């Protein structure tokens, strides 16, 4: 049984022809896979459900627990229970970006320094699956009114006060730029004024399309594409407030969060599949086309920690998704938490090769 992909074909191959497969650190991916296995066996609801779920994964999850108890070889586990397929896009090569968990200063009280609220999920937000998925998003959202369901407020309406007075404020950030990028990443660590860390986890979105403002900034001639990365984009928005507000409002998508004060600092953020993410092992994929939990062997030439381009070949686990992650050969690589992870993530906009490991029949 193969997934019915929208924009790619699958070509069966053997593990022996996968370059760098034998030299990979398979144990790292196995640890991440084991997290998904435990979550799926416990039937933990997904934060953002995938459209498809391969039922053949469940017995493999049980085998993963047995394998871990026996301290078995990780490479042998994947080769025993999975078959590799090369993902061949119809029109272009695969494409990779990076994302991370920001660490932001914040306050539980509104102050002059911290005045931008982070909002919890509103009670009247209704999310549902469309019978016929659109090219952009198969999950939509609406608002319950006496006259029925209507489209939910977009970013501009929310920033203009559409949800004021509902008591949704979880805490406060220093400016809209930080909030905007927390929305893009889908999670954040907020360091409070007493030094404690609280975590923001995705709790829902308003259903409007996601728009990449970097493309608009380039199209309007404000910055060259080669000059855009996370740090430069933040700096430009703060230095050009007359453009920043307008451009951020063009991204009508808006994210709501829940707050956790007890998630260990050593753990990554909670991804769409309701497991904590591991830096260098977790990826976000198109949830219209892939099941969470699937292993992918990703190969590309990517910036390393020193800004140089270096070969990258690694087995990674699909544990997350994102509104901009559209396409069978499209992935967002989770790079970790904090500023350094953000710097590395912001440099990744590169083609890549995808090999998916599908369960053996």
- The 3-class secondary structure across 69-102, one letter per residue, is HCCCCHHHHHHHHEEEEEEEECCCCEEEEEEEEC
Could you tell me if 193 and 168 lie in one domain?
yes
Could you tell me if 184 and 44 lie in one domain?
no
Kindly report the CATH number assigned to the domain that includes residue 53: 2.40.40.10
Please say whether the beta carbons of 231 and 343 come within 8 A.
yes
Output the CA torsion 15→20→26→32 (10° steps): -100
Inside any domain, residue 1: no
Residues of the chain with pLDDT below 50 are: 130-138
- Among 260, 290, 323, where does a domain finish? 260
Residues 6+ apart with CB under 8 A from 244: 176, 177, 237, 238
Burial of 218 (0-12, 13-18, 19+ CB in 10 A): middle
- Among 226, 260, 294, where does a domain finish? 260
Closest to 253 measured CA to CA, from 122, 152, 172, 343: 152
Return the H-helix or E-strand segment holding 330. strand 330-337
Could you tell me if 51 and 181 lie in one domain?
no
Could you tell me if 143 and 198 lie in one domain?
yes
Output the CA torsion 273→276→277→278 (10° steps): -140
- Model pLDDT, residue 136: 38
Inside any domain, residue 172: yes
Inside any domain, residue 353: yes
Could you tell me if 84 and 194 lie in one domain?
no
Domain that holds residue 209: 102-260
Could you tell me if 181 and 311 lie in one domain?
no
- Among 260, 285, 303, where does a domain finish? 260
Inside any domain, residue 2: no
Could you tell me if 67 and 134 lie in one domain?
no
Could you tell me if 55 and 106 lie in one domain?
no
Could you tell me if 289 and 345 lie in one domain?
yes
Domain count of the chain? Answer: 2
Could you tell me if 67 and 143 lie in one domain?
no
Q: How far apart are CA 116 and CA 110, in angstroms?
A: 8
Could you tell me if 114 and 236 lie in one domain?
yes
Inside any domain, residue 32: yes
- Model pLDDT, residue 129: 58
pLDDT digits (tens, 9 = 90+) for 21-69: 999 999 999 999 999 999 999 999 999 999 888 999 999 999 999 999 9
Could you tell me if 65 and 127 lie in one domain?
no
Please say whether the beta carbons of 53 and 40 come within 8 A.
no
């Amino acid at each position: 049984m193969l997934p019915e992909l929208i924009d790619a074909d699958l070509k069966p191959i053997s593990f022996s022809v996968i370059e760098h497969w034998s030299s990979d650190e398979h144990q790292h991916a196995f640890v991440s896979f084991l997290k998904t296995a435990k979550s799926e066996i416990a039937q933990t609801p997904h934060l953002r459900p995938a459209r498809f779920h391969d039922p053949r994964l469940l017995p493999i999850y049980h085998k993963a627990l047995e394998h871990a108890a026996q301290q078995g070889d990780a490479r042998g586990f994947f080769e025993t229970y999975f078959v590799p397929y090369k993902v061949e896009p119809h029109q272009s090569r695969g494409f990779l970006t990076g994302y991370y968990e920001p660490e932001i200063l914040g306050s539980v009280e509104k102050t002059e320094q911290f005045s931008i609220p982070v909002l919890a999920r509103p009670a009247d937000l209704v999310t549902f699956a469309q019978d016929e998925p659109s090219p952009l998003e198969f999950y939509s959202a609406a608002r319950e009114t006496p006259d029925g369901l209507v489209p939910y407020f977009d970013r501009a309406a929310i920033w203009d006060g559409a949800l004021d007075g509902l008591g949704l404020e979880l805490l406060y950030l220093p400016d809209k730029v930080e909030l905007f990028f927390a929305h893009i990443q889908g999670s954040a660590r907020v360091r409070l004024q007493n030094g404690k860390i609280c975590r923001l986890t995705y709790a829902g979105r308003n259903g409007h399309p996601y728009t990449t403002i970097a493309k608009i900034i380039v199209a309007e001639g404000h910055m060259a594409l080669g000059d855009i990365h996370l740090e430069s984009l933040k700096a430009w928005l703060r230095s050009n407030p007359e453009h920043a507000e307008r451009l951020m409002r063009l991204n009508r998508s808006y994210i709501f969060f829940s707050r956790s004060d007890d998630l260990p600092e050593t753990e990554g953020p909670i991804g769409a599949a309701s497991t904590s993410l591991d830096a260098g092992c977790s990826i976000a994929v198109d949830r219209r086309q892939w099941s969470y939990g699937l292993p992918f062997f990703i190969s590309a030439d990517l910036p390393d920690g020193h800004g140089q381009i270096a070969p990258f070949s690694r087995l990674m686990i699909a544990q997350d998704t994102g509104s901009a992650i559209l396409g069978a050969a499209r992935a967002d690589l989770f790079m970790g938490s904090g500023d350094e992870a953000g710097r590395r993530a912001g440099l990744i906009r590169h083609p890549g090769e995808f090999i998916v490991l599908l369960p053996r029949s």
